[in-house]
Amino acid sequence: MRTRFIVGNWKMNKTASEATAFVRRLAQQVTDLAGIQVGLTPPFTALQAVREALGPAPLFLLGAQNLYWEEKGAFTGEVSGAMLKDLGCQFVLVGHSERRQYFGDQDAWTNKKVLAAIRHGLEPILCVGETLQDRDAGNTDLVIQRQLRAGLAGIEARALGTMTIAYEPVWAIGTGRAASSEQAVPVHRVIRRTIDELSGSNTGRHVRILYGGSVTPQNIADFLISEEIDGALVGGACLDPVSFATLLKVALGSSPSTT
Ligand code: 13P
């Protein structure tokens, strides 16, 4: 049984004080998650504030948007897995397309980051996704397979089954043009098949796969209706507490169709 997971990725938004106010308002709106997991990834500078605002019995999981793979040392501007763990992070995004596009994160780096996260007891969420150019050229599956094979290299078969992957088509991020579930579901299946290949068994069915790209309170149910889609990675629609709470309430009320 794969537990549903909705993650709000704040990207470079909210100061620490804004983060505190956000968490207080969100907590007023959402008091019970009825078995689904919900995570927040504030910027590094707001992690401590969010942790404190969540209190001693946090309803939401705390995650970071990135990490560096080295343990410590002369790496100006970087943050290690140990630092995130010490701040109470439970998970970390790796290889988000904005990291790949603007900060040079390459497949080989995503692999080092995934391995570093695991080493520090953080759940990595490996983000994969094709550009519009890739999709138009018919290369979506190839790109996804390449990102997975490289990003997950060296992870033992059993651990592969506990992974969470986020499928975020680059053309759907921040554009208001979400993929349809008819577009997303086949890619989720490619992801499961690729994990099967990598693990040498049918491990893919255990892997949690989130869809990301222009998810809103209005369209989240269209994704969650599919058994293939285990949750969402939400950008713009997670920044306002009322909008995010509405999205979570829709997610809580929608169950996958078995047909
Ligand atoms: P949007 O929901 O703003 O399209 O962003 C998606 C995303 O990149 C989440 O990581």
pTM recorded for the entire structure: 0.96
H-helix or E-strand spanning residue 63: strand 61-64
Atom of ligand 1 nearest to the CA of 93: 10
Query: What is the number of other CB atoms lying within 10 angstroms of the CB of residue 198?
Result: 19
Are residues 186 and 227 in contact, defined by beta-carbon separation less than 8 angstroms? Answer: no
Mutation pick for ligand 1 pocket among 5, 11, 13 (CB with most ligand atoms within 8 Å): 11
Could you report the per-residue pLDDT of 149-205, keeping only the tens digit for each? 999 999 999 899 999 999 999 999 999 999 999 999 999 999 999 999 999 999 999
Ranges of each domain in the chain: 4-253
pLDDT, residue 167, reads 98
Q: Please name the fold of domain 4-253.
A: TIM Barrel (3.20.20)
Q: What is the mean pLDDT of residues 223-243?
A: 97
Q: What is the mean pLDDT of residues 221-241?
A: 97
pLDDT, residue 257, reads 56
96 tagged catalytic:
yes
pLDDT, residue 254, reads 78
- Paired with 224 in beta bridges are none
Distance in angstroms (rounded) separating the CA atoms of residues 235 and 227: 22
Residue 258's pLDDT band (cuts 50, 70, 90): very low
Structure tokens at 247: 């999205």
Q: Say how many Å lie between the CA of residue 235 and the centre of ligand 1.
A: 3
pLDDT, residue 259, reads 37
Predicted confidence (pLDDT) at residue 255 exceeds the cutoff of 80: no
Q: How high is the mean pLDDT of the chain?
A: 96
Could you report the per-residue pLDDT of 33-92, keeping only the tens digit for each? 988 999 999 999 999 999 999 999 999 999 999 999 999 999 999 999 999 999 999 999
* Helices of type H across 30-139: 47-54, 81-86, 97-103, 107-119, 132-136
